[in-house]
Amino acid sequence: MSAGQNDPQMAAMIAGLVGLLDVRETAEPLHFAGARRPGGIGRVFGGQVVGQAIMAASKTVAEDRPIHSLHCYFMRPASEDHEIDYAVDADMDGKAFSNRRVVARQQGKVLFNMTASFHAPESGLSHQMPMPVVPPPEDLGSFADYVALHPDRASPVFKRLIARPSPFDYRPVATLTPEALAQPHPGLAYCWIRVGTAPIDLAQALQRALLGWISDSLLLASAYRAHGIQIGTGGYQSASIDHSMWFHGEIQCGDWLLYAVESPWTGDARGLACGRFFARDGRLVASTAQEGLMRPVTA
């Protein structure tokens, strides 16, 4: 699976993550089953649903047409107690593009839908915005470091991220103290992210499914951060409403990726956040956008 994942525990965690995302065909044509996360409790993480939907759609398209965009809506929370059924409609296969619709159901109820477009690579005009200049991940602390230093004041979201061994490594480009995080920060925020410790030998469909998982991890948090609030600390009901991604190039989630996120707007109990993923060599490899629920909880 990977080159350089020498830690057996890390290799096993990555294998489990890939197995979770790699949905399996069912007896019903164009239907795929998304497995339950081992040890999962409560609500399924939205990024898992996005990643499984990417894989379900990708399994119905030729490998030389990678997914280049997706737009999805979350309608109901998914439970960790049951598998998820992903039904794919193959709407179009043209000369260069394919289009798919995916509807996710659990116990007969629709909980998520996605439209996705796939495109065979072509030559044409090319440009991108430059990668931000930030410190390298090796010079930065992790969320685990922050929780260890501030165990009583760290957000429950941070604590959940490190509650058990994980293949995901997050290195935020920020001063992680309770005082700093309490200051409103409406501008760009940056975080280095990778899966494992070395490049992972996976097809692009799975690399992009992994990035779909990762992409859901910091967006809504940036909308709260604009107000000096750590997501999950209480007082607000939070949930992803919709999520979009655009893939611009080859993805390698085993290498460090810089996630640049910002929230241009909040209002009406919703928040909008946007993000960009840069490979360490400076390539812009994906862009994201998400609107989420930020409803004040009243007694």
What phi and psi, each to the nearest 5 degrees, are found at residue 55? Answer: -65, -40
Neighbour-count burial of 299, counting CB atoms closer than 10 A to its CB (0-12 exposed, 13-18 middle, 19+ buried): exposed
- Whether 216 is catalytic is yes
Q: Where are the alpha helices (DSSP H) in 110-245?
A: 143-149, 156-161, 178-181, 204-215, 219-225
Catalytic residue, from 216, 217, 222, 252: name it: 216
What is the C-alpha separation between 108 and 111, in angstroms, rounded? 9
Q: Where are the alpha helices (DSSP H) in the chain?
A: 8-21, 46-58, 143-149, 156-161, 178-181, 204-215, 219-225
What phi and psi, each to the nearest 5 degrees, are found at residue 232? Answer: 90, 0
What is the SS3 assignment for 98?
strand
Looking at this protein, which amino acid is placed at residue 52? Q
- Closest Cα partner for 266 from 213, 217, 229, 235? 229
Token pair in block for residue 268: 């009406």
- Closest Cα partner for 75 from 52, 101, 106? 106
- Closest Cα partner for 17 from 165, 136, 116, 122? 165
Count CB atoms within 10 A of the CB of residue 160. Answer: 12
Catalytic residue, from 240, 252, 263, 287: name it: 240
The answer to whether 50 and 212 are in contact (CB under 8 A) is yes
Count CB atoms within 10 A of the CB of residue 7. Answer: 13
Catalytic residue, from 52, 217, 252, 290: name it: 290
Count of alpha carbons within 13 Å of 94, Cβ hemisphere only? 9
Active site residues: 216, 240, 290
